[in-house]
Structure 1
């Protein structure tokens, strides 16, 4: 899985700087201080013939909220063992529900958003399982928006993986570990770097234009990116966690963000795992970071840091 997904991406990537990473939290896959989950050899499993289909699924999160996602099953008459690709959408958007005949809004998003096109190719051309999910507080997933709190958002993602392990008949495995990759842009990249650090079952990540450290993204040199904070506040439709609403209001009215909010935001990024903050120990996954040179929210520095940060 981790060998083939980046190669397919190369056909679709344009005007981006590509940074290859062999393991999370540094440029070496040999770090003894991370939990390395990489497996080699052929996938095992399978044996059940499946026809191409897709369907919606809803789980109940640990806090009682809904986790909504759509499962895309490829044509697989021989019951081959297959990898799974998990797709996450950008901030303010929602999941892919129909990749063949989408409604006008979803169709526009799919045509404009490269990771949606990649997810479609993974299902229809590569013959992979694909799950596209509504991130907490967006689409049909309920709850307030935490901006990728590992204890909340990543617990939801782990529940989706639990469901996949139980219900995808031909999900491939290596040494009894499911073969799972992920794709997503911006907020859909953040779920990968944070949840891929929290859950060792990810094998390959492809985060596009995402963050390493949210205080730097939103409040560099103690200067708020007011326009971006206003945009994020609007597209969240007032559904942000209360501390984030307060922080965004502070930023736009006083130019400051309180320290408690900054510390909580700092915990919602891969740096907190790579530096073992709050007692965290990161998992490891192959990754391909793709960062735009002219992105003023998650700039090139964040992509570089995601690549070079050391434990």
Structure 2
């Protein structure tokens, strides 16, 4: 097991997995409340390593419990914990079972993790000046999922802040029946380096990677999905703040939109540019950060009763290339839907028209085992860097091999096109095998051929008959202003390094007439 204080090198290695960083600088730490390191007995006597930061003055205070992220330990939230303690909160951060020096095996937000969380709440009430009627949970990534799941299992949790978390783990692993390759690989690597995965997690990861026992893996994932317990969360009625990134490559945001719409508790949804845990990263190291400002305001409102805290019932979105926007609900983002039919491929440039009514009488065949320069990038890095630079990942569209992909470009509008919501693609296919995969990319194409990626998604079909079929895929939710004079462009190919594909080598898939893109616009 890794020694408790020998964390620096692994934290630096795992920052790409969990989106966290080292504690605040020493100068800032000197002025912060003192930190007490403790051992908390978890379920079955498992020892959980933890730290407590509390106000200096005597009294009763609201409490917030932070489970640490996948691959990190209880030092992760130190900067935020000190700031919150200085503002009148008891803060307990702990390392979930199976990680670092905590005992047991990784339970992946399963029943043992939830029992542990309740034990941490018991300990907090018994050993700190925490008000048992004013308890919240929060976390990034793994800690976010445990926090929201815990609100279904323990009625004492009155407020939750879920940052870069998931609501449907099946969707996160198998969205549109396509397994996520890079994200699952990084999670497995972290577990091997600083965790004790045990036979349960090791077996499930092995099954996932080998694409076997799919039903068992999905059943295991459903047990670990807040969406499974939506009714119980609504019954317990905690206030739920959900914050995530448009380009989260671990937990794509579409699942959050669906879950948020079904929540009947006090709620708020925030989406910003970036990838997994990037939007909240600077706050982890104690720098000013909009996500953490919302979190503090959320707890102020629901644990302190401060009416001036973060406002519920709002959907806050920061487009990739526009200013912050606030709506009353998700449906308000778009005021309409525009259908773009996919047209026949021109012989001159091997590009089809994107627009107008869907047409028939044409076909475009692409090979199943040939990649193109169109891709979703590298997990965490591509969208993460774009969050800091303000520049979306881009390619030079003429470099997309038309022998390996279908490309359709729309007429250039005279005014900006405001994309808000979840674009959807319907593809009619012929000549397909029983199993197969496609990936669709939506680009912003300028006049020089530079194409910026707006959104994308894979889709697979498994176990059906060979022949013709239709597939519908929802691209990842997007908020983007296509500039006037730029062309909305759709690229479809069969290979992306982010995902496993179900294609047979040497095969081909034909995209046929009647296919179209539905674009939510404002």
TM-score range, shorter chain: 0.5 to 0.7
What runs of 5+ residues in structure 2 fail to find an aligned partner?
1-31, 265-522
After superposition, the Cα gap between the structure-2 partners of 1:116 and 1:55, relative to the gap in structure 1 and judged at 3 Å, is closer
Q: 1:189–1:210: 8 Å Cα contact kept in structure 2?
A: yes
Residue in structure 2 matched with residue 61 of structure 1 by the alignment: 42
Moved over 4 A (4+): none
Equivalent residue number for residue 205 of structure 2: 248
Q: Are 2:94 and 1:89 aligned?
A: no
- The CA deviation string for residues 38-97 of structure 1, in whole angstroms up to 9 with x for no partner, is xxxxxxxxxxxxx95332221333323212211112221xx332111112221111112x
Cα 1:214–1:257 shift into 2, 3 Å: farther
Partner of 1:191: 146
Q: 2:189 aligns with which of 234, 239, 245?
A: 234
- Structure 1 position 261 matched with structure 2 position 217: yes
**1:148 matched residue in structure 2:** 109
The residue number in structure 1 matching 2:80 is 118
Preserved CA contact (<8 Å) 2:43 2:119: no
Match of 1:296 among 235, 238, 249: 249
Q: Secondary structure at the match of 2:44?
A: coil
Take 1:123 and 1:145, find their aligned partners in 2: how far apart are those partners? Answer: 29
Is the partner of 2:121 in helix, strand or coil? helix
Question: Does the Cα contact within 8 Å between 1:212 and 1:305 map onto a contact in 2?
Answer: no
TM-score of the two chains, using structure 2 as the length reference = 0.42
User: Number of aligned pairs?
Assistant: 231
SS of the residue corresponding to residue 142 of structure 1 reads coil
Task: Tell me how far 1:309 sits from its aligned partner.
Answer: 2.7
1:169-224 CA distances to partner (integer Å, 9 max, x unpaired)? x322xxxx431122211111011110111111111111101101111111222221
SS in 1 for 2:106: coil
The corresponding residue for 2:520 is: none
* Aligned mates of 2:263, 2:122 — CA distance in 1: 30
Q: CA deviation at 1:303?
A: 2.2
Larger Rg: 2
For the 8 Å contact 1:243–1:261, the answer to whether it is kept is no
C-alpha root-mean-square deviation of aligned residues, in Å?
Answer: 2.3
Contact 1:89 1:184 in 2 (8 A): yes
Higher normalized contact order (CA 8 Å, seq sep 6+, divided by chain length): 1
Tell me the secondary structure at the aligned position of residue 61 of structure 2: coil
| Structure with more strand by fraction | 2
User: TM-score when scaled to structure 1?
Assistant: 0.68
**Which residue number in structure 1 is paired with residue 167 of structure 2?**
212
Aligned match of 2:133: 178
Q: Which runs of 5+ in 1 are unaligned?
A: 1-50, 97-109
TM-fit CA distance, 1:116? 5.1
Q: 1:116 to 1:186 in 2, by over 3 A?
A: farther
Deviation for aligned residue 1:284? 2.3
Q: 1:289 to 1:185 in 2, by over 3 A?
A: same
1:157 to 106, 117, 128: 117
Q: Please identify which structure carries the higher helix content.
A: 1
1:252 Cα offset (Å): 2.5
